[in-house]
Amino acid sequence: MQQVLELRASNAHRWMACPGQPRAVTDMVDTAGGAADLGTVAHALLETMLRLDLPADEIDRYADKAILKKIGNRDASHILVDDEMMKGVSHALDYVRGYLAVHKKAKFDIECTLDATPFVGYTSGGTGDVMLLDLPRELVLVDYKNGVQHVEHEDNKQLLIYGLGALNKYSKEIKPDTKFRFTIVQPNSRKGGAPVRESVYTYEQLMLFAAEAADAAKAAHRKNAPRVAGDHCTFCRAAGSCKTLAERAVAVASLEFADIGADMTLRDPLSLRPQDIAKVMDSASMLKNWITAVEGEATKRMLGGKKIPGYKLVGSITHRKWDDIDKVTMLTKKLATVDLFEELAPRVILSPSRMEKRLGRKRDGMPTLLGKLLKRITHGTAQPRVAPEDDTRKPYVVGQEFGG
């Protein structure tokens, strides 16, 4: 029986560029971390607001509804909806509502399962955030991105696979002159630029992409499908153990840097010519990705009890914070004779270290209140970090991640 490979839309830029990738990640657990979890909660908030038809200016009242208890089998109750997320989701809401206000006959669909299998030839697809259906004139696929890593809207393979799924789902209402509008809403991109970016495809263009995706899926299913390294390796689950990426990183380093430092001795940046700096910068992201992936793999193995010679796991530094802002605020309002909030907006209560300094002053301190507040300080969860064996920090122990 042929092995079922993972050809998800969100991963399409990877399996379409590296035929060996789907097989390389088979049986590897998806360890997508913090940023992905934040994205999941942001999408839950968007879904809540749209399903309940709630106005964007009331988003803060409904933020709690989006907090998920679990993501997969992991606890997610600590992932809070912050101001930035609310602002981002409001952008997506404004776009959707603005479209529906102009296109009165349009309908919408949320969190839609889009199965592109009939076009790709193998199981493939994903879940589209919002579909705006003004058919047969136009089908709009809105993809909200909560993260800061800039997502290109042109030739976005994830959206194109969704487009094939949409073509499959709404085939009866789609005509040869239907336009497919792919919209990315990403207000928090670190590259800046327009928060809403769109590309429009015709039916024929989508069909050309379908042929390309079908060829890539076929190539991925071939025995010994080759691995091909490139920018798409970022966040590939196999990156930490991928020989192809490792060899490519070393080849890039030795080729590109050969005339900068013949013996690969790292030179002082001050001594580099502008063209040398450009060469290093061009290869920097691939090398960084590879090193990050190797560190991730080392962490995973050590958490699993394996030894990496010369290294150990330590806990990351955790910052002190208040265990319950409301209780701390009440306490200071009740007992303090001075204002203990930041002077400038947002007028939040002073952080533990600033509070300690303020209430610990010889001249006008308040030691009794300080003593009460110190009991309300807690630490975030320490994350495992790879460190040399002779690092003076205590080894990281699973189950004791909370700093004291």
> Could you list the residues that contact ligand SF4 (CB under 6 A)?
14, 18, 20-21, 24, 227-229, 232-233, 236, 238-239, 242, 244-245
Q: Quote the Cα angle for 304-286-158, to 5°.
A: 85
Task: For the CB of residue 13, give the shortest distance to ligand SF4 in the complex, in Å.
Answer: 10
Minimum distance of ligand SF4 from residue 239's CB (angstroms): 4
Residue 236 or 366 having the CB closest to ligand SF4: 236
Q: How far is the CB of 5 from ligand SF4 (least distance, A)?
A: 12
For ligand SF4, give the closer residue by CB, 246 or 370. Answer: 246
Beta strand segments in 10-89, E: 70-71, 74-75
- Reference 294, options 248, 244, 245, 240; nearest CA is 240
Q: Classify residue 274 as left (phi > 0), alpha (psi -120 to 50) or beta.
A: alpha
Tokens 């029986």 belong to 1
> Residues 6 or more apart from 242 whose CB is under 8 A from it?
24, 227, 229, 233, 236, 293
**What's CA 87's distance to the chain center, in Å?**
17
Instruction: Name the 3-class secondary structure at 232.
Output: helix
Q: At its nearest, how many Å lie between ligand SF4 and the CB of residue 292?
A: 12
**Which uninterrupted H or E stretch holds 112?**
strand 107-115
Nearer to ligand SF4, 91 or 232 (CB): 232
CB of 50 to ligand SF4, least distance (A): 34
Per DSSP, helices labelled H in 121-273 are 157-169, 203-221, 243-257
Q: Which two tokens stand for residue 175?
A: 């005509």
Whose structure tokens read 């809105």?
Answer: 142
Q: Each residue of 166-203: b (16+ CB within 10 Å) or e?
A: bbbbbeeebeeebebbbbbbbbbbeeeeebbbbbebee
58 close to 35: Cβ distance less than 8 angstroms: no
Query: In angstroms, what is the minimal distance from the CB of 251 to ligand SF4?
Result: 13
Question: CA distances (Å), 137 to each of 143, 159, 175, 197, 203, in order?
Answer: 20, 19, 8, 20, 12
- By C-beta, is 234 or 351 nearer to ligand SF4? 234
Which of 194/250 has CB closer to ligand SF4? 250
Q: Which two tokens stand for residue 278?
A: 């450009």
The least distance separating ligand SF4 from the CB of residue 161, rounded to whole angstroms, comes to 17
Q: Which is nearer to ligand SF4, 18 or 164 (CB)?
A: 18
Which one, 12 or 206, has the nearer CB to ligand SF4? Answer: 12
**Cβ proximity to ligand SF4, 91 vs 237, nearer residue:** 237
- Smallest distance, Å, CB 285 to ligand SF4? 13
CB 106, CB 100: distance < 8 Å: yes
| Angle at which helices 34-51 and 59-66 cross, to 10° | 120
CB of 14 to ligand SF4, least distance (A): 5
> DSSP code of 197?
E
Place of tokens 């890539």: 216
Q: How far is the CB of 242 from ligand SF4 (least distance, A)?
A: 3
With residues binned 3-state (H G I as helix, E B as strand, rest as coil), the percentages for the chain, rounded to 5, are 45, 15, 40
Q: Which is nearer to ligand SF4, 238 or 260 (CB)?
A: 238
Nearest residue (CB) to ligand SF4, 20 versus 125: 20
